[in-house]
Copies of this chain bind each other. A is one copy, B any other.
């Protein structure tokens, strides 16, 4: 007969475990591994849901939202070789593929990745939405993130002993955002990042010091990105436009940007800051705009000794962010003051977070000034 002609007797026994990556199946020869995890995030918000972008957003009518904010299916593992890894993440709520990537991780110092994922640029964006210290990312994530892109990267960890401890990433991407596999012209997006792990050990890409680390961890990073595309910003929806920029034509916007970042963790305390600059050159209207933003945040676990009895951990954290959409205008800025309280039932995998944010928007030219409060409550569970 004309069946698909595959040997049917090539099966091997496999081991089944539950671990940090969820339910995990591994063949006894460790050639194949599949792990599967899910994550649900519920969020109540009042009086507005998204971070306000305009004055209208800040002063609109009150809306109460109770939403599933994230519903994720995560499938990862390796195939044929332990170092040939795959990862797939699906947004079940919006029915869209977030991550798909193949990683060749044979040597610590030289790895390759191909596919679509959150390009290694800012720590704030790279931290999973389920492992944040604050309830959500800051207001400067929207204008400065390069988000998910399609392409390839070379990366690795260089450990020369002592202070000589680095992580690097060099990426070549289509620069069209999530779902954008086609480059619109001959100009690709390039992103580079270098992280120096000052004290020999780097800070995990995860918020809060849940382990009460006894030796201080510190990381400093620089990153830069350059791209020409129709877009002035990127998000999980793909390429988009910042307020004040129209929908671009092919190759309309040349964007150059860089950041400086610090991170630190020690005995239940954790710190994270980022300073961003971004230049948008409009090649159609021959205009250049410079954007600037920064934030600093810190938190402290109040009862780290509760971890021994598997009791919930409590953390208080604060953040200040500032965003200037146009440096040429002195008083044109958006500020965010946030206070969050975390209750970690099982670390980041089962936690309740409440936060309150105070926004202050100024625009000298428009002679506008506005402030507003927002309250949120969020439950996040991974399984």
Contact = CB atoms under 8 A, between A and B. Distances in A.
A182 B152 CA distance: 38
Interface string A1-30: 111111110111110111110111101000
- For A17, A18, A68, the residue with the greatest tally of chain B CB atoms inside 10 Å of its CB is A18
A206 B4 contact: yes
A223 interface: no
Contacts of A197: 1-2
B80 A34 contact: no
Given A3-B204, A20-B8, A23-B14, A181 B40 contact: no
A71 B88 contact: yes
A92 interface: yes
Contacts of A204: 2-5
Contacts of A183: 63-66
A100 B14 contact: no
Interface string A120-133: 00000000100100
Contact of A379 (B102, B181, B201, B350): B102
Given A5-B204, A79-B381, A49 B10 contact: no
Interface string A180-196: 01111010100000010
Contacts of A211: 5
A102 B42 contact: yes
Interface stretch (A108-116, A135-143, A237-245, A295-303): A108-116
Nearest to A85: B383
A339 interface: no
A24 B79 CA distance: 15
B10 A114 contact: no
Interface in A332-359: 345-346, 349-350
A96 B71 CA distance: 12
Interface string A348-381: 0110000000000000000000000000000101
Contacts of A345: 80
Interface in A54-99: 62-68, 71, 75, 77, 79-80, 84, 86, 88, 90, 92-93, 95-97
Query: Which of under 10, 10 to 19, 20 to 34, or 35 or more describes the interface residues of A?
Result: 35 or more
A167 interface: yes
A1 B167 contact: yes
A166 to B, nearest CB: 10
A383 B66 contact: no
Contacts of A1: 108, 157, 159, 167, 197, 201-202
A66 B36 CA distance: 27
- For A92, A102, A211, A382, the residue with the greatest tally of chain B CB atoms inside 10 Å of its CB is A92
A90 B75 CA distance: 15
Nearest to A8: B20
B23 A131 contact: no
Complex A-B, nearest 5 residue pairs according to Cβ-Cβ distance, in ascending order: A5-B204, A67-B181, A11-B19, A2-B202, A79-B383
Given A80-B345, A92-B100, 8 more contacts: A1-B197, A2-B203, A11-B24, A23-B34, A65-B182, A67-B150, A93-B100, A95-B95
Interface of A: 1-8, 10-14, 16-20, 22-25, 27, 32, 34, 36, 38, 40, 42, 49, 62-68, 71, 75, 77, 79-80, 84, 86, 88, 90, 92-93, 95-97, 100, 102, 108, 114-116, 128, 131, 150-152, 157, 159, 167, 174, 181-184, 186, 188, 195, 197, 201-206, 211, 219, 345-346, 349-350, 379, 381-383
